[in-house]
Structure 1
Amino acid sequence: MSAPNTDKNDLESEYEALLSFMYLSPVGIVRSDKSGFVDMMNPLAAQLLMPLVRGGSIENIFDSLASVAPELRNLVASFEAERGPVCENHRVFVTPAKDDAVVLACSIIKVNADVLMMVLTDISRQVAAERRARQTESWLAGIYTGVNDFAFFTLDAQGCIDSWNPSVERLTGFGEVEVIGHMLSRFYANDEIVLHRLPEHIALTRDDGWHVEEFWCETKAGRRYWGQVLISVLREEDGEISGYSVVLRDITERKVHSDNLARLLTTDHLTGVTNRAHFFEIAESEVARAERHARALSLVMLDADHFKRINDTAGHQAGDEVLRRIAGEAKALLRRSDIVARLGGEEFVLLLPSTSASEAMVVAERLRVAVEQALIETAVGQLKATISLGVASLGDENQTLQDLLAAADHALYDAKQAGRNCVRCAIAEPEDVSLSVSEEGNTVPT
């Protein structure tokens, strides 16, 4: 007659053991229903997610992660099996991608029709180590694979070619008299000749001892190829720089194979623009570049006005078409050197190198008008949409990427408060002047 009590005690012991495992586990564990509503979470998971909730509670795990990993909800929704792993070690950049970024590895398991288990692991140190390894080993890692040809030559201290050998002609088609005394731009494709590129090559090489960059090149006969250039410092016995050694490689074949993979890893699945994680990697580099060379840099944050209303009245597919059209209009307006990225939801960001605040205002206003005038084709018919935009530029008050994002976000908030479908610009000056763009496109103080 004691068996039932024994069974009950065994179940209670197992439950207590499960709770102990949950709370003492070295990884974050979250249990939720298929819609993401949480019913159990261990302390480590709450700690790892704290930067996202800013003191608030975590009720829906997908909502909490929407700003950094909006794709997780779609991954779960598109997983058709009754049970099994939805994703394994999917990387989530909780804070911007840089050396001290917070990065989580997220694995989701569908236990049954309505129960999900999410495992979160802090892999920030691993990601930082991988980034450093890529920076220092990228040249060596690819030198034995995907190489069609290479050329070796040297530059003098001013950056002019001062030596030649047959490998140069074999790769580029140019003879000795056609390259000696010229700059590296001799080998660039015409659309890659940017005035600041060569000085930056040399400056970065002087700072670090070596520098690697990739861009389109063109042979004497007009054949385009994807070139990778490694520049390293040559020094005299007293340590003074006497010149530079250069290895130019044709890595076109490798680029063709890597582009597809890179596109998957760096682009937003819905709109095709740069994704959040890759944007932060690019933006950190652009901020450092602008500061090093004292160049302007501006950032525009924007989002779709009344987007929830569009989803609620026309459906999520129509909302997706609106986001795709906004991204398309932005890409059509921007230069090759500019970046448009989706930060999450209906929020986008434009990164505009060598662009002042006033110039960025013009770009933002053109985009606002283009979106306002667009007729967006959806399954429920044509829609119209508008956007609000906030502009910020690098300066004394905005010295870091985080400063820029915060200033642009504040300007975007001002645009929303002003009635939406407008542009606001926060200028980092002592007077803290805020500017807006009138309907005629003129910059006016507010």
Structure 2
Amino acid sequence: MEIYQHIFEYTPDALFVIDQAGRVILANAQAETLFGYTRSELINHPVEMLIPARFAALHTGHRARYITEAHTRSMGGTAELFALHKDGSEFPVDIMLSPMMLHGDQLVLCVVRDITERKAAQDALTRQTSELRRLHAELELLANHDGLTGLYNWRAFYEYAEQMLKTAHRRQENATLLMIDLDHFKQINDRFGHAEGDRVLQAVASTLKAAARENDIVARHGGEEFVVAALGLSEAESLVAAERLRAAVAAIENMKTRITTSVGIATLTPQTQKHETRRILAELLDKADQALYAAKHNGRNQVCHFNRLTDLAQPATS
């Protein structure tokens, strides 16, 4: 029996034996060290004296239920547990409970382990992980978005537009590209400086994003050129959408000069055969660019669809 007493007394965890009334009837040396009480201050006192006040009532209920349905509870668990030192300070703990019978009385062996260092390490790891996730999100944002306007950059646009074309093929829907170029943008930079030019690009970008549909892909193509990819628009609907974007930009206020745009449109009708998505996208961009050139050539501040280029090329009749 002496060896068991020795084990109980000098085990590195704090040990308590609790009776059915929730009183401490035994405590070891580590319990005194961990909680700051002498053994005489612990024995025959409610175990709730070792529980922070905000948890005491809840603990009393848990203890009463445990007595009626006693079972071994291992260390750890999903809930954070805290104990109360004599000086009023709290510290995180792991607790193991084990029912035991002694002389016909039902008792509970309670093992308490201070996990302050372990929890500090876990909290530090959690903070580091959160910071790494934040940095990763920032890097992903920088990789996919234009630094000046916040729109998708060319690389991201290519990726998402290819996905849109695959969706269009699967659903047998139209896909439309709108190429948008600021009219006389060089003159803005020359007259008012590059800072004003940047402010114009930012205003146009936010206007296009606001005027486009929620699922449209809006990107900065480079320089003063933007591109929008849209799903499900007919040729007539694409002209309406392009005109809406052109008018929205023309309505921008508080700039040093009026801003206008020219818009070129290309529409891909449903394909019966599957084609290489990258090649199809390149062809659409080329057609939209040709339509944009026509819009510029015919006076700027207007929209033009690639399918109507032959009409524009016809000589006018009196």
Matching of residues 263-278 of structure 1 within 5 Å: 263-278=141-156
What letter matches 2:302 in structure 1?
A: C
Higher relative contact order (CA closer than 8 Å, sequence separation 6+): 2
Cα 1:396–1:354 shift into 2, 3 Å? closer
Look at both structures and tell me which one has the larger radius of gyration over its CA atoms: 2
Q: State the identity %.
A: 42
Task: Give the Å deviation of 1:258.
Answer: 4.7
Does the CA-based 8 Å contact 1:340-1:349 persist in structure 2?
yes
**Distance (Å, rounded) in 1 between the aligned partners of 2:164 and 2:270:** 17
**Distance (Å, rounded) in 1 between the aligned partners of 2:192 and 2:132:** 44
**Distance (Å, rounded) in 2 between the aligned partners of 1:408 and 1:289:** 20
- The question of 1:346 aligning with 2:224 is answered yes
Which of 253, 257, 260 is equivalent to 1:383?
257
- The question of 1:308 aligning with 2:186 is answered yes
Cα 1:337–1:405 shift into 2, 3 Å? same
Which of 313, 336, 349 is equivalent to 2:214?
336
**Which residue in 2 is equivalent to 1:418?**
298
- The TM-score with structure 2 as length reference comes to 0.51
Q: How many residues align?
A: 177
Does the CA-based 8 Å contact 1:390-1:412 persist in structure 2?
yes
Where 2:167 maps in the other structure, the secondary structure is: helix
Cα 1:290–1:386 shift into 2, 3 Å? same
Does the CA-based 8 Å contact 1:412-1:424 persist in structure 2?
yes
What letter matches 2:292 in structure 1?
A: L
Does the CA-based 8 Å contact 2:144-2:152 persist in structure 1?
yes
**Which residue in 2 is equivalent to 1:44?**
none
What letter matches 1:420 in structure 2?
A: R
Where 1:348 maps in the other structure, the secondary structure is: strand
Where 1:309 maps in the other structure, the secondary structure is: helix
- The question of 1:362 aligning with 2:236 is answered no
Matching of residues 384-399 of structure 1 within 5 Å: 384-395=258-269
**Which residue in 1 is equivalent to 2:288?**
408
Matching of residues 47-196 of structure 1 within 5 Å: none
Does the CA-based 8 Å contact 2:169-2:270 persist in structure 1?
no
Does the CA-based 8 Å contact 2:144-2:156 persist in structure 1?
yes
Cα 1:294–1:359 shift into 2, 3 Å? same
Task: Give the Å deviation of 1:254.
Answer: 9.7
**Which residue in 2 is equivalent to 1:226?**
none
Deviations 1:131-171 (A, max 9, x none): xxxxxxxxxxxxxxxxxxxxxxxxxxxxxxxxxxxxxxxxx
Deviations 1:341-385 (A, max 9, x none): 1111101100111222221211111111111121244xxxx3211
**Distance (Å, rounded) in 1 between the aligned partners of 2:187 and 2:131:** 47
Does the CA-based 8 Å contact 2:181-2:262 persist in structure 1?
yes
**Distance (Å, rounded) in 1 between the aligned partners of 2:311 and 2:203:** 29
**Which residue in 2 is equivalent to 1:290?**
168
What letter matches 1:346 in structure 2?
A: E
**Which residue in 2 is equivalent to 1:215?**
none
Cα 1:273–1:434 shift into 2, 3 Å? farther
Does the CA-based 8 Å contact 1:325-1:376 persist in structure 2?
no
**Which residue in 1 is equivalent to 2:25?**
none
**Distance (Å, rounded) in 2 between the aligned partners of 1:425 and 1:368:** 14
Cα 1:257–1:315 shift into 2, 3 Å? closer
Structure 1 segments of 4 or more deviating over 4 A? 252-258, 396-399, 432-435
Cα 1:255–1:292 shift into 2, 3 Å? farther
Alignment gaps of 5+ in structure 1: 1-251, 436-446
Task: Give the Å deviation of 1:338.
Answer: 0.6
The structure with more strand, counted as a fraction of residues: 1
**Distance (Å, rounded) in 1 between the aligned partners of 2:263 and 2:288:** 8
